[in-house]
Structure formats: C-alpha cells, structure tokens
Amino acid sequence: MKQPSPMPIPETLPKAGIAERNHSLDVLRTLAMLLVILLHVAAPYASDGLEDRAFGTGFWAGNVLNSFARVSVPVFVLISGSFLLGRREAYATFYLNRASRILWPFVFWVGAYSLYALYCSYALTGRWAVAPVAVKALTGKPFYHLWYLYMLLGLYLVTPVISRAIAGLALREVSMAACFLLLCGFTINLWNFYVGSGFIVLLWFTEYLGYYLMGYVLARSVAKYSQVLLLLVYVLLSLLTALFVYATRSMYFYEFLSPLVLVASLALFKMFSQLRFGPNLLARLAKLTLGIYVVHAGVLEAFQRLGQKYALSTGTALLDIPLRFCLVLLVSVLLVQAVSRVPGLKRVV
C-alpha cells in the first residue's frame, strides 16, 4: 500500500475528496449501537448479582450478554479514527464540520438530561438541586451514557493535530504509536479503576487515543487475517471476560480498556474492515446511531420506572432482557426518526 507523502501538510489544505461509502463499517457502527443498548439493558442483572453474591440465571444472562457487548464503545472510537484521521482538511474546515454534527446534540441532550435530573431531585426531596446537577454536567456525568460525548469532543479537538503528525509516517510507525497509546490507556484505566483518582473530564479522551489511532491503522493495513479466526477471538475473549468477572467477583474486566475487551474490539473491527458489504438495512441505520445513542438511555429509564411501578416482568432474565432490548430499540428508532423530521430539532439527532 502506498504510504502518505512525507511532505508536511500546509496550513491551507485542499478540500478532502468524497470517499466511497464503506457499507461494512456502517454495518459495524449499527451493530455497535445495538450492543450499547444490550449492554445497558443487561448490565444491571450482572452488577446486582455481583453485589448480592447471587449467581443464578439472571446474573449469568446479564454477565454473558454484557461481556459480549463491551466492545461497543471501543468499536465506535475505532470507526471514528478510521474515517477522521489522515484527512487533508484545514483546521477551520474540520472543526466547523464536526461542530455542526456534535455540538447541537451535546448541548441539547446534556441540557435535557440535566433538567430530568433536576425534576427527579425535586420529586424526591421537594427541593431544586441546581448546584449538584450543574456539577454533574460540568464533570461529564449529566446521565450515565453521556460521558461518551465529552470524550468524543476531546478526540475531535486533537484530530487535525494528529492527522498532521502522522502524515509523514509509515503505517508501521503509526501502528507502533497506536500500540503505545493503547498501553497508556490501559494503564490509566487500571489506575482509575482501582485507585479512583477521578481523571478530569477534559482529559478523558486521552485513554481512547490508542483506539482512535488504531482505527486508522487497521482500516489501511494490507495485512489480512482469517475471518473465522477473528470471530473466534472476539467470541472466546468475550466468554473469558464473563468468566473472569465471575472468578474475581470484580467488574474490572468489563472496562473498555481491560486486556480482553481491548483485543476483542480490535479483532471485531479488523474482521469488518476486511468485509465488503453492499447497501443494506443495517448500513442505512448507521446514520441514526448518534441519535439512538443519546435517546436510548432515557427510553430505558422510562421502561425501568414503568416496570417497577406496575411490576412488569416475565420473572426470568432470559425473557426480560431480550424483550426490554427490543422495546428500547424500537421506541428509540421511532423517536429519532420522528425528531429528525422536525426542522428545528433534526440537528440534535
């Protein structure tokens, strides 16, 4: 594969060309979104089982499904790196393009979920807890899933700098840098999990720089691996994640930068980067993934509250998890499609 020219990229760059649509990575993006929903539906069964030391059917259903779904966020970052890094765009062009895609959803949904948290605090205590809610928004925790948007903003901010830094490097050199950054991310994540240093929100993206850069590398690498082997790696490491969580009674192995999740994510991404899908339904749904991501947690919250109020359950996690997953997915898709048709709101999804 022809390597990029070692010539430095000038401040004024030619406009990036329109690349052929990669339907395989679109399918993977949609799959990652489905896994995010599955993760959030299944995770409580696993965490409750660990907390209560109750390792029955509910725990194992949640544990195994959660383990298979942990690759979701790393895969999102890998896909973003494969598309965004290496572009020959001026700083202003890149930032304006990304701002139009991410800032509207960021501001709207941080505000919406913060208002919901404010309402919940008033309903419970009779007081408007403005300060605690504002602190959560400023520290990247307005709602449990929105941390990803804060992290993504950091990645976007450094993307043009990284693109210029790697422009004169051979792919092997970029690969070595990506491996080093993955090791750094693993170390930071391990420290934060066990020491709990509270890494500041502005630097959350640094943990994921390795994934980001490795997405660029794997998408351009000419090395080919057996699809069956890559799938087996993903499956076996996901199963091992579930077993290690049970054996250690710790949720560390669920972490997005834990060793098993890290390798499983790279294997799944490489597998799809080698595939060549044509246009299909899953690929078409990829354009809805950001919208589904931001709304699904609210939809799940609503179903959980309704379930608690009206005791809506089949009595077994083996049925509750897939039913709740399907309902959350269906309602989320319908909501995003409805919002995207409203001229004043379509930017937020």
Report yes or no: 205 and 148 within 8 Å, Cβ to Cβ.
Answer: no
Written as one string, the DSSP assignment of 77-89 is HHHHHHHHTT---
Q: Rounded to a whole number, what is the distance in angstroms from the first to the last CA of the chain?
A: 37
Confidence category of residue 329, pLDDT binned at 50, 70, 90: very high
Give the Cα separation of 129 and 60 in Å (integer): 38
Tens digits of residue pLDDT in 171-192: 999 999 999 999 999 998 888 8
pTM for the structure as a whole: 0.90
CB atoms within 10 A of CB 13: 17
Give the Cα separation of 23 and 273 in Å (integer): 10
Tens digits of residue pLDDT in 222-268: 999 999 999 999 999 999 999 999 999 999 999 999 999 999 999 99
Helices (H) and strands (E) in the chain — how many of each? Answer: 13, 0
Give the Cα separation of 265 and 254 in Å (integer): 12
User: Given this model, what pLDDT does residue 260 score?
Assistant: 97
Question: Which of 11-15, 65-69, 129-133 is least confident?
Answer: 11-15
Does the pLDDT at position 313 exceed 60?
Answer: yes
Nearest to residue 200, comparing CAs of 129, 133, 147? 147
As a three-state string, the secondary structure of 39-70 is HHHHHHHHHHHHHHCCCCHHHHHHHHHHHHHC
Q: Check residues 15 and 113 and name the one with the higher pLDDT.
A: 113
Domain boundaries, the chain: 23-102+147-348
Does the pLDDT at position 125 exceed 90?
Answer: no
Does the pLDDT at position 68 exceed 60?
Answer: yes
Host H or E run for residue 290 = helix 289-310
